[in-house]
Amino acid sequence: MKAIVVHEFGAPEVMKFEEIPAPKAGAGQVLVRVEAAGVNPADTYMRNGAYAIKPPLPYTPGFDGAGVVEAFGEGVTKVKPGDRVYLARSVSGTYAEFSLALEEQVYKLPDRISFAQGAGVFVPYGTAYRALHQVAHARGGETLLVHGASGGVGIASVQMARAMGLVVIGTAGTDKGLELVKREGAHHALNHGAAGYQKEVLQLTGGSGVDVILEMLANVNLGEDLKMLARGGRVVVIGSRGDVTITPRDIMLRGASVLGFVLWNISDEDAADMHAGLGAGFENGTLRPVVGKELPLAEAPRAHKEVMEPGAFGKIVLVP
Collapse the DSSP code of 48 into the 3-class scheme (helix H, G, I; strand E, B; otherwise coil) and give the result: helix
Residue 310 interacting with ligand NAP (CB under 6 A): yes
Q: Interior CA angle at 64 toward 63 and 69, to 5°?
A: 110
Residue 30 interacting with ligand NAP (CB under 6 A): no
Write the interaction track for ligand NAP spanning residues 99-138; mark x where CB under 6 A is met and - where it is not: ------------------------xx--x-----------
Q: At what angle do helices 152-164 and 122-129 cross, to 10 degrees?
A: 40
Among positions 189, 190, 235, 238, the unique one binding ligand NAP when judged by CB under 6 A? 238
Among positions 34, 220, 278, 290, the unique one binding ligand NAP when judged by CB under 6 A? 220
CA distance 268 to 271: 5
Residue nearer to ligand NAP on the CB measure, 23 or 61: 61
Collapse the DSSP code of 44 into the 3-class scheme (helix H, G, I; strand E, B; otherwise coil) and give the result: helix
Residue 173 interacting with ligand NAP (CB under 6 A): yes
Q: At what angle do helices 152-164 and 268-284 cross, to 10 degrees?
A: 80
Residue 192 interacting with ligand NAP (CB under 6 A): yes
Binding residues for ligand NAP restricted to 255-284, rule: CB under 6 A? 261-263
CA distance 84 to 108: 6
CA distance 80 to 74: 12
Write the interaction track for ligand NAP spanning residues 139-168; mark x where CB under 6 A is met and - where it is not: --------xxxxxxxx--------------
Residue 311 interacting with ligand NAP (CB under 6 A): yes
Q: Are 303 and 44 in contact (CB under 8 A)?
A: no
**Which residues contribute to the site for ligand NAP (CB under 6 A)?**
40-42, 123-124, 127, 147-154, 171-174, 177, 192, 216-217, 220-221, 238-239, 261-263, 307, 310-312
